């Protein structure tokens, strides 16, 4: 594992360099490279013959961070991502994949630097726009519970939540964050939303959206809205664990089809 310094954090980074397409894999809120493996969301496990970059977002996993809510807003996480890509894949188009917060980070990065990506696989798009309001209030409440009642009370409330059918059989996990940072991380998420539809129309690369059913935090309605907002999008919805188990192969196929070979044409 290596570290990469950004303003206010050192990011834990790993590069699996087998040559071929450059790919970056992100994770979701309160997760990490390690936790996503346990949650059956490490789609990169199916990739070979690529240069696969994985990292823990600031304040997550083995990365450090500050107790400043604005650091964890999705548009700012996109800056971390673009800095990483400039360091590891300078002048190249990269294929990006990630769930939830990682999905949002990729979209903001693609809007900020349209020439950086050659394709995207967006997993489990989160609540957005109208449905984001209730989720933002929930995240603010998570921060309050952590600060007033403590870690154990927060974890117990989280474990009592229903799980989507496609995740049945996954091990029980807890947030992979330092407890002292988690209130700020939740407040950063509460202040965040997906980009506006007009901005999403500028993300013109091939995009594969993967969603699952019966998950209020990642509603199929958001995935469907992205399908219509993104010019080159397609959508698949899973309702069973078996269908989710096929997602690594889907990513492998998408990277093979849309990934930029090495060396790529320089980005101007």
Q: What is the pLDDT of residues 99-129, one digit of tens each?
A: 999 999 999 999 999 999 999 999 999 999 9
- Measure CA 140 to chain center: 20
Question: 40-44, 62-66, 158-162, 254-258 — which is least confidently predicted?
Answer: 158-162
Check pLDDT > 70 for residue 3: yes
Let me know how long the chain is.
Answer: 268
Query: Is the residue at 53 inside a domain?
Result: yes
At residue 98 the predicted structure's pLDDT band, cuts being 50, 70 and 90, is very high
pLDDT number for residue 264: 45
Q: Judge contact between 102 and 54, C-beta under 8 A.
A: no
What average pLDDT does the segment 232-242 reach?
97
What values do phi and psi take at 95, rounded to 5? -90, 130
Q: Which pLDDT value is given to residue 266? A: 46
- pLDDT of residue 48 exceeding 60: yes
Task: Confirm whether 100 is domain-assigned.
Answer: yes
Query: Distance between CA 36 and CA 26 in Å, rounded?
Result: 9
What is the mean pLDDT of the segment spanning 144-152?
95
Count CB-CB contacts under 10 A for residue 204.
Answer: 12
Q: Decide: 23 and 50 in contact? Cβ < 8 Å.
A: yes
Position 259 scores a pLDDT of: 83
The per-residue pLDDT for range 180-231, each reduced to its tens digit, is 999 999 999 999 999 999 999 999 999 999 999 999 999 999 999 999 999 9
Query: Would you state the structure tokens that stand for residue 177, as one six-digit string?
Result: 């964050």
Domain contains 263: no
In a domain, 265, yes or no: no
- Any domain includes 39: yes
For 6, the enclosing helix (H) or strand (E) is strand 2-6
Does residue 142 carry a pLDDT above 80?
yes
CATH number at residue 96: 3.40.50.1820
d(CA 175, CA 186): 11
Helix and strand element counts for the chain (H, E): 10, 8
Please state, rounded to an integer, the average pLDDT across all residues of the chain. 94
Domain annotation covers residue 161: yes
In this structure, is residue 268 part of a structural domain? no
Total domain count, the chain: 1
- Residue-number span of the structural domain to which 88 is assigned: 2-258
**Whether the Cβ atoms of residue 90 and residue 266 lie closer than 8 Å to each other:** no
């Amino acid at each position: 594992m290596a570290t990469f310094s950004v303003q206010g954090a050192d990011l834990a980074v790993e590069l699996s360099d087998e040559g071929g397409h450059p790919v970056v894999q992100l994770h979701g809120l309160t997760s990490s490279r390690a936790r996503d493996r346990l949650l059956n969301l490490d789609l990169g496990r199916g990739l070979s013959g690529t240069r696969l970059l994985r990292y823990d977002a600031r304040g997550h996993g083995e990365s450090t961070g500050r107790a400043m809510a604005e650091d964890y807003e999705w548009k700012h996480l996109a800056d971390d991502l673009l800095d990483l890509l400039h360091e590891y894949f300078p002048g190249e188009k990269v294929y990006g994949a990630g769930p939830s917060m990682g999905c949002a980070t990729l979209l903001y990065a693609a809007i900020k630097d349209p020439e950086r990506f050659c394709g995207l696989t967006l997993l489990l798009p989160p609540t957005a726009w109208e449905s984001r309001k209730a989720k933002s209030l929930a995240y603010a409440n998570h921060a309050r519970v952590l600060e007033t009642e403590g870690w154990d009370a927060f974890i117990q409330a989280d474990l009592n939540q229903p799980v989507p059918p496609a995740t049945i059989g996954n091990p029980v996990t807890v947030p992979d964050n330092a407890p002292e940072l988690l209130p700020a991380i939740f407040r950063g998420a509460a202040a965040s939303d997906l980009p506006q539809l007009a901005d999403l129309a500028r993300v013109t690369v091939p995009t594969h959206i993967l969603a699952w059913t019966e998950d209020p935090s990642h509603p199929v309605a958001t995935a469907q809205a992205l399908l219509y907002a993104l010019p080159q999008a397609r959508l698949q919805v899973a309702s069973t664990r078996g269908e989710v188990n096929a997602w690594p192969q889907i990513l492998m196929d998408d990277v093979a089809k849309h990934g930029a070979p090495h060396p790529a044409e320089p980005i101007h």
